[in-house]
Amino acid sequence: MTDSSATDPGGWHTYLVTQESVSAGRSTLEVVDAALEGGVDVIQLREKDASARCRYELGLELRERTAAAGVPLIVNDRVDLALAIEADGVHVGQSDLPVGVARDLLGPDAIVGCSASTVADAKRAEADGADYLGVGAVYATSSKDVDPDESGVGPARIASVVDAVSIPVIGIGGITAENASPVVEAGAAGVAVISEITAADDPKAASERLATAVHR
């Protein structure tokens, strides 16, 4: 577990979700090293296409690197993997294990985040004990499991969710340094990205650019 205020989702301005398949031929370790140098506030081990064994082995490496950087590590979906690599928490979607089950298995000090695309989902996740919400897809995106024809829920949905809940909201989906500002202006604590960092020519510079856009 990562000590210190780094584990407060309210302070997560830039949130990297890993996905080696959209990392321009680089390894996730290489991308994460660059993103940590570039100052991202939190890393989520996703890697939806990888086996549990691969994610476990990668997770052990990510745990070392994030711990050394004082940056929290969150595991997508799998609570057992989060326990096994001593991650700081888990991020669950609407079709993953329920928030309350994740909380029971991880204990009161772990971070449990939940994806929500509607105000109703967001309120339920908060009531179930989520520590933060990932809300989106804000903009159209190709790198998550979102219908590419859909245009995204937009910054207006971020504002609606922020009005409806008391826990921090992270915008996700199609966010870049160029379009991040309206997400933060709508009340998001920060923004989560995959390809804006993983597929960038220079992931470190992309991380810095994103942080600048969020803080602007």
115 part of the active site: yes
Query: 13: number of CA atoms within 13 Å, CB side?
Result: 16
Q: Is 104 in the site for a copy of itself (CB under 8 A)?
A: yes
Q: Is 79 in the site for a copy of itself (CB under 8 A)?
A: yes
The pairing of strands 190-193 and 89-92 is unpaired
- Under rule CB under 8 A, residue 83 binds a copy of itself: yes
CA dist 66 and 164 (Å) reads: 32
- Calculate the alpha carbon distances from 5 to 1, 10, 23, 200 in Å: 12, 10, 29, 29
Active site residue 46: yes
Binding flag, residue 101, a copy of itself (CB under 8 A): yes
Told to check if 120 binds a copy of itself by CB under 8 A, we report no
For residues 60 and 75, is the Cβ–Cβ distance under 8 A?
no
- Taking CB under 8 A as the criterion, the residue among 24, 54, 120, 156 binding a copy of itself is 54
144 is catalytic: yes
User: Using the rule CB under 8 A, which residue among 78, 91, 157, 209 binds a copy of itself?
Assistant: 78
Per the CB < 8 A criterion, the answer to whether 152 and 174 are in contact is: yes
179 torsion bin: left (phi>0), alpha (psi -120 to 50), beta (else): alpha
Our finding on whether 64 is near a copy of itself (CB under 8 A) is no
Structure tokens, 182: 């309206």
| Catalytic entry in 55, 63, 103, 144 | 144
Cα-based torsion angle of the residue sequence 44, 50, 54, 59 in order, rounded to the nearest 10 degrees = 0
Residues that constitute the known binding site: 44-48, 76-77, 96, 115, 141-144, 174, 194-195
What's the closest the beta carbon of residue 102 comes to a copy of itself, in angstroms? 8
Distance separating alpha carbons of residues 52 and 58, to the nearest angstrom: 10
Note whether 140 binds a copy of itself by CB under 8 A. Answer: no
User: From the list 24, 52, 127, 156, which residue makes contact with a copy of itself (rule: CB under 8 A)?
Assistant: 52
Please identify which residue in 1, 67, 105, 205 interacts with a copy of itself, judged by CB under 8 A: 105
Complex with a copy of itself: residue 103 or 209, whichever CB lies closer = 103
Which positions are catalytic?
46, 115, 144
Q: Which residues bind a copy of itself (CB under 8 A)?
A: 51-54, 56, 77-81, 83-84, 94-98, 101-102, 104-105
